[in-house]
């Protein structure tokens, strides 16, 4: 209890000292400064002193003549945040604080778009988050209009406009109906950033194969493999052919090439041939006698 009381008194003294400095200091500070812009600090009194400006990731030191105005060039202070100015004279020390704020004009966007690859026709499948920054990479905290646009060569673009809150704007967008590498663009003012979202076909739909004999071999070939939206399933997708006969079983995992999967297997009379890809089953063929 005693310790708490001591801390309370100490805190009150410190606050009182801060207020006293702000009210009685020989510094006349601007209330806020826009990052990167020129500004000046007026001091009172006479003689020489040293002015220190301490802020996030930055310290400035200037030898000043008391009673004159000290000017700072554009770009001298570029990190947004709370700054402390300390004027150390020959017989006195004064200090005060001011804020450096981000410029209102967006100069850079950090755009997080996820996922970079997803199946077509997924509701709210794509999320986009934009952080708006000024020239000096300070987060712009004033509300800014950000537009999100998802478009592909196949057309059918979507557009949404969102206002930033505390420097951040986000949205969710459905993936398109057609397979494409879509351009996902975020734009704020004249600044835009593009991400590529690959909209890929979904699971194959109605997988079908044909078979014909070529001597002792059986040639198996699927029809063009497409998803339920009619998009061609990409080359490289594995299609498994299984042939079961009284002589045993034969399987082969074949990648789709140029839209179809094709292979040869031994031809056995009465054999049952099936086709599948992933967890999707296709048709079954029973071989008759030659």
Residue 68 or 247 having the CB closest to other proteins: 247
- The SS3 assignment for 10 reads helix
Burial of 221 (C-beta count, 10 Å sphere; 0-12/13-18/19+): middle
Residue 55 or 204 having the CB closest to other proteins: 204
Residue 41 or 267 having the CB closest to other proteins: 267
Residue 55 or 201 having the CB closest to other proteins: 201
Q: Taking CB under 8 A as the rule, does residue 247 contact other proteins?
A: yes
Q: Taking CB under 8 A as the rule, does residue 254 contact other proteins?
A: yes
Q: Taking CB under 8 A as the rule, does residue 216 contact other proteins?
A: no
Which of 122, 191, 200, 232 touches other proteins (CB under 8 A)? Answer: 200
Q: Taking CB under 8 A as the rule, does residue 131 contact other proteins?
A: yes
Cα separation, 191 vs 184, in Å, equals 14
Interface positions, 261-280, toward other proteins (CB under 8 A): 263-266, 277-279
Cα separation, 165 vs 262, in Å, equals 55
Q: Taking CB under 8 A as the rule, does residue 235 contact other proteins?
A: yes
Q: How far is the CB of 169 from other proteins (least distance, A)?
A: 13
User: Pairing state of beta strands 191-200 and 117-119?
Assistant: parallel
Q: Taking CB under 8 A as the rule, does residue 248 contact other proteins?
A: yes
Burial of 54 (C-beta count, 10 Å sphere; 0-12/13-18/19+): middle
Q: How far is the CB of 277 from other proteins (least distance, A)?
A: 5
Residue 10 or 266 having the CB closest to other proteins: 266
Cα separation, 226 vs 93, in Å, equals 78
Cα separation, 65 vs 279, in Å, equals 81
Q: Taking CB under 8 A as the rule, does residue 110 contact other proteins?
A: yes
Cα separation, 98 vs 29, in Å, equals 7
Cα separation, 71 vs 62, in Å, equals 10
Q: Taking CB under 8 A as the rule, does residue 124 contact other proteins?
A: no
Measuring CA to CA, which residue among 184, 177, 165 is closest to residue 126?
A: 184
Contact pattern from residue 47 through residue 86 relative to other proteins, giving x for each residue in contact according to CB under 8 A and a dash for the rest: ----------------------------------------
**Contact criterion met (CB below 8 Å) for 140 and 34:** no
Residue 158 or 263 having the CB closest to other proteins: 263
Q: Which residues bind other proteins (CB under 8 A)?
A: 109-117, 131, 193, 195, 200-201, 203-204, 233-239, 242, 247-255, 257-258, 263-266, 277-279
């Amino acid at each position: 209890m005693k310790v708490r009381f001591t801390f309370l008194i100490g805190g009150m003294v410190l606050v009182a000292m801060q207020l006293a400095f702000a009210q009685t200091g020989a510094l006349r500070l601007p209330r806020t400064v826009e990052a990167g812009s020129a500004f000046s600090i007026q001091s009172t009194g006479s003689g020489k002193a040293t002015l220190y400006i301490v802020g996030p990731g930055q310290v400035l030191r200037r030898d000043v003549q008391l009673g004159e105005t000290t000017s700072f060039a554009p770009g001298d202070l570029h990190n947004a945040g709370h700054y402390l100015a300390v004027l150390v004279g020959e017989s006195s020390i004064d200090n005060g604080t001011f804020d450096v704020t981000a410029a209102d004009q967006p100069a850079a966007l950090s755009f997080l778009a996820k996922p970079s690859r997803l199946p077509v026709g997924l509701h709210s499948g794509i999320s986009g988050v934009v952080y708006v920054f000024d020239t000096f990479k300070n987060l712009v905290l004033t509300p800014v209009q950000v537009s999100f646009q998802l478009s592909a060569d196949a057309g059918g673009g979507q557009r949404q406009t969102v206002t930033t809150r505390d420097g951040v704007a986000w949205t969710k967008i459905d993936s398109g109906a057609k397979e494409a590498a879509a351009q996902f663009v975020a734009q704020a003012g004249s600044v835009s950033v593009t991400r590529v979202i690959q909209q890929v076909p979904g699971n194959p739909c109605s997988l079908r194969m044909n078979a014909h004999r070529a001597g002792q071999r059986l040639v198996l070939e699927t029809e063009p493999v497409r998803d339920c939206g009619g998009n061609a399933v990409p080359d490289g997708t594995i299609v498994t052919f299984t042939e079961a006969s009284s002589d045993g079983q034969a399987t082969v995992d074949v990648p789709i090439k140029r839209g179809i999967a094709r292979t040869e297997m031994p031809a056995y009379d009465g054999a049952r041939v099936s086709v599948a890809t992933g967890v999707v089953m296709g048709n079954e063929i029973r071989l008759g006698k030659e």
